[in-house]
Each structure stands twice: as C-alpha cells, then as structure tokens.
C-alpha cells in the first residue's frame, strides 16, 4: 500500500514492472532513466549478475514536491523474470500501488506471458493485494519483431481483458513514456479514491502528472507536454 505520512506530508508510491524473463522490464526502466531529468530522479540501481539478465531487480526513484508542499516519492521497480526467483518477485511486489505488466508480443511467448500473468495474480494474493482494484497497464512490448501479434489481435485482446493495453518497442524507447503516463494516471485515480489526494492533500490529477512529466523528454511520444490537453 501507498505509504503516507501526514506529519511530514510525504507520499511514497510504489510502481512495479512485472513480466516474464527477457520481456523488457529493465529496458523500460533504462529508457525512462534516459528520458527523465536527473533533478527529479535518483540513480538507476541494478542488482544484476554477470550476464545481461536481471538477477534480483532494478529500482529507480522519482521525486517532486507539490504546490501544497507535499513530497511525493515514486519508486519504480522491476521484478526478476527468471522462474527461480519466485520469492524475490513476491517480496518486490509487496505493497505495490500500480503494475506495468510487460509482455513479449511474439506469438511464441503467449504461453509464458499467460503463465506469468497467473503467477502475478498468485503473488498479489499472497501480498493481500486485489487485482480488481489495483491499477494495471499491459504493455505489449517488442512490436517490431516479425512474430509479433498483429494490431487486430491487440484490438481483440482489449475486448477481453480489463487493463488497458499499450504497444511498445522499449528498446527504441517507443511506448515507454505512454505506459508510465497511463499507469500513473490510473494510479492517481486509485490513490485519490483511497486517500482523497485532491480534497485532503490538495493534489490534482493534472498537477500530479505535470510535476512528473514536465521533467520527462516527451519528444516522439504521444504524451502531450504539460499544460496542453492530455492524450
């Protein structure tokens, strides 16, 4: 759950990138690290092994202060994708406020994706989290690969699943900002329902998103610069 401290007026929000091994979770965070202004983010911490696959996870903080003086700290995490790190996945998922599920669009990966989706449901339950109320965005990554599911199939997917679907090519940075934007929008709404962010903390959805995305390089994304009407 979101950690908030009304004495120090602090809000700590946890966002987790979940998905099978090699689906592009770390790539998402690396792209965001490049695009977010260093003044509002910390270092990207990667706890990894010698090869290029994530052993434990990655973590990157993003922080800002609202007009009303509330300090908001977003922490972006990835979970380890390898099957053997089940317990680490469960620990990282603890107290999460929003999830970006990063899936490999290729048809050959459909079974692994489904298995990890079910694995996530199980781990959410173990952490006392409710998938029905948790903000989740499904990122269909690797759209550029030959075996990727076609647009029509994504449209079909949108018909049958609850979370919104965002297409992406994270390695090129495509769709990465869009995913985070949509996720934080949902996340704000869910936090507002639970904590009355607007009424009690004086943080509007617009300000919340503006504080973050005015420090993000939006070039080439479909996210409008702050101040302009949103997508």
Partner 1 sequence: MTLPPSVLQQRIPLGDLLDLKAFADVCHSFAELYRVGLKVFDEASNKLVDVKVGNADFCGYIWSKPSGREQCMATVARVRSDPIGDEPGPTAFPCFSGCRYVVQPVLYEGDVIGRVVFGPYVPDDLVALPASLTSISADFDARLADGYAEKIRRVPEGTAEKILKHFMDLLDVMVFTGHKNLITARLHIEAVQESYRELQEKNRALEDSFAKLKELDRLKSNFLATMSHELRTPLTSVIGYSEMMLEGLGGPLTAEQREYLGIIMEKGENLLQLITSILDISKIEAGRIRLVLSEVDPGQLMRDAIATVLPLARKKGLKVACEPGHLPRLHCDREKVRQCLVNLCTNAVKFTPAGGSVTVSAEPATGDRLAIRVADNGIGIADELLARVFDVFFQIDGSSTREYGGAGLGLAIVKSFAEAHGGEVQVSSKVGAGSIFSLVLPLRPTLPAPALTPSAPFPALGG
The residues binding partner 1 (CB under 8 A) are 3, 42-43, 45, 47, 56, 59, 61, 63-64, 71, 73, 75, 77, 85-88, 90-92, 94-95, 126-128
Q: First and final CA of the chain: distance in angstroms?
A: 28
Do residues 32 and 180 touch, judged by C-beta distance below 8 A? yes
Minimum distance between the CB of residue 138 and partner 1, rounded to whole angstroms? 24
The residue (of 14 and 142) whose beta carbon lies closer to partner 1 is: 14
Minimum distance between the CB of residue 221 and partner 1, rounded to whole angstroms? 24
Minimum distance between the CB of residue 135 and partner 1, rounded to whole angstroms? 19
The residue (of 114 and 126) whose beta carbon lies closer to partner 1 is: 126
Residue 231 to residue 224: CA distance in whole angstroms: 6
The residue (of 8 and 219) whose beta carbon lies closer to partner 1 is: 8
Look at strands 45-48 and 71-78 and give their pairing: unpaired
Minimum distance between the CB of residue 4 and partner 1, rounded to whole angstroms? 13
The residue (of 91 and 218) whose beta carbon lies closer to partner 1 is: 91
The residue (of 77 and 181) whose beta carbon lies closer to partner 1 is: 77
Residue 154 to residue 159: CA distance in whole angstroms: 9
Instruction: Give how far Cα 131 sits from Cα of 20, 44, 121, 124, Å.
Output: 18, 28, 7, 7
DSSP letters for 52-100: SSEEEEEEEEEEEE-TT--EEEEEEEE---SGGGHHHHHHHTTT-SEEE
Minimum distance between the CB of residue 83 and partner 1, rounded to whole angstroms? 13
Minimum distance between the CB of residue 47 and partner 1, rounded to whole angstroms? 5
Q: What is the CA radius of gyration of the chain?
A: 17
Look at strands 71-78 and 10-18 and give their pairing: parallel
The residue (of 34 and 49) whose beta carbon lies closer to partner 1 is: 49
């Amino acid at each position: 759950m979101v950690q908030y401290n009304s004495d120090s007026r602090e809000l700590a929000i946890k966002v987790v990138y979940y998905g099978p091994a090699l689906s592009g979770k770390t790539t998402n965070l690396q792209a965001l690290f490049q695009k977010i202004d260093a003044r509002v983010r910390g270092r990207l911490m990667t706890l990894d092994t010698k090869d290029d696959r994530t052993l434990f996870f990655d973590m990157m903080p993003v922080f800002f202060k609202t007009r009303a003086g509330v300090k908001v700290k977003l922490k972006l995490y990835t979970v380890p994708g390898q099957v053997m790190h089940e317990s680490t996945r469960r620990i990282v998922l603890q107290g999460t406020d929003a999830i970006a599920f990063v899936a490999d669009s290729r048809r050959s990966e459909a079974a692994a994706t489904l298995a990890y989706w079910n694995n996530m449901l199980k781990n959410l339950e173990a952490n006392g989290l409710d998938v029905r109320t948790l903000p989740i965005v499904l990122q269909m990554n690797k759209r550029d690969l030959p075996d990727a599911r076609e647009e029509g199939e994504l449209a079909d997917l949108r018909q049958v699943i609850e979370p919104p679907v965002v297409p992406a090519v994270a390695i090129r940075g495509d769709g990465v900002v869009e995913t985070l934007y949509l996720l934080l929008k949902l996340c704000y709404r869910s936090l507002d329902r639970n904590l009355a962010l607007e009424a009690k903390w004086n943080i509007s959805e617009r300000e919340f998103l503006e504080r973050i995305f005015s420090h993000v390089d939006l070039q080439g994304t479909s996210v409008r610069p702050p101040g302009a009407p949103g997508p």
